[in-house]
Amino acid sequence: MTNDYPLTPQQIAAYQRDGYIQLNDVITGDDLTAFRDAVAAVVKEDTARLDPNRTRNSYEQIFIQCVNVWQRSPAVKSYVLHRRLGSIASRLSGLSVRLWHDHALFKEPHTGAKTPWHQDTPYWPHQQKMHQLTLWVALQDATIQNGCMSFLPGTQKLLDIEPVNLANPQDLYDVAPQTKGLKPVTCELKAGSCTVHNGMTFHYAGPNRSAGMREVIAIIYMPDGTTYAPTTHPVTDPLGLQAGQKLNGELFPLVSD
């Protein structure tokens, strides 16, 4: 991949206004094939270890989720930490950014499980809640039929909303009546394209009604200097962090200037 993806001032302004943007052809050609194959290999390895007769938790009922794929695959690491992607996050947010974590989100075929309307940042153990952002990279085409993303523009400005229970979601208008009247925008993506959204922007993905797997990796960034808020989260629970401690070092690498 080349280092720089072209972003216009108009695109940066649109992201900062709306809280999301669609970017086409971010990863292409052999890079897309290599990235997709590397992520799929880790997902296959992780799922092979699971008991097929187990009771699925709430996340597993929505999609197959594999967190921090970059830490287990050198090939995935080379893309997740690539300057091209970190630079997109930095230029859109206007800040230096660190990797928070990645996660593969593979939605199985013929499933009725939707990803409910929600904001991301309220679930994360960060004391600062305003400028996290996610690159949601389609490794295969993401369509309405297989569960692409939709967004409510401008909702990154809605603070202190009760986190949605993803296992038993409330009606969006009960949680955030401020969203009434807002028109969702659905973003179908061809493979290698992505959406970028602020962690406070309400978003949704429909069920996968197609015959194939919906294959996505989400790469999540946080501003350099983000500090830890004691909240249960699988990424930070094993680390023994103290409140106010900076999330930095080799587990949360700086990926922009």
Place 163 in a pLDDT band, splitting at 50, 70 and 90.
confident
Place of tokens 């949704």: 204
For the sheet with 149-151, list strands across it. Answer: 115-118, 203-205, 149-151, 185-187
Express each pLDDT in 41-91 by its tens digit: 999 998 887 666 656 555 555 778 999 999 999 999 999 999 999 999 999
Instruction: Report domain extents, the chain.
Output: 9-49+59-239
Indicate the pTM of the whole model.
0.95
**What's the pLDDT tens digit per position in 180-219?**
999 999 999 999 999 999 999 999 999 999 999 999 999 9
Strands ordered across the beta sheet of 214-223: 20-23, 194-198, 133-138, 214-223, 97-107, 64-67
Amino acid type, 113: A
Please enumerate in sequence order all residues whose Cβ is within 8 A of that of 249, keeping only pairs 6 or more positions apart, or say none. none
Beta-carbon neighbour count of residue 58 at 10 Å? 12
The mean pLDDT value for 31-36 works out to 98
Residue percentage of the chain with pLDDT more than 70: 95
Query: Please, which residues have CB within 8 angstroms of residue 98's CB and are 6 or more apart in sequence?
Result: 221, 222, 223, 224, 226, 247, 248, 252, 253, 254, 255
Backbone angles phi, psi at 123, to 5 degrees: -85, -10
Look up residue 112 and give its two tokens: 């009725």
- Which CATH code fits 9-49+59-239? 2.60.120.620
- 83-93 and 9-18 helices, crossing angle to 10°: 70
**Tokens at 113, concatenated:** 């499980």
Q: Amino acid identity of 103?
A: H
**For the segment 87-140, what is each residue's pLDDT rounded down to a tens digit?**
999 999 999 999 999 999 999 999 878 899 999 999 999 999 999 999 999 999
| Whole-number pLDDT of residue 58 | 57
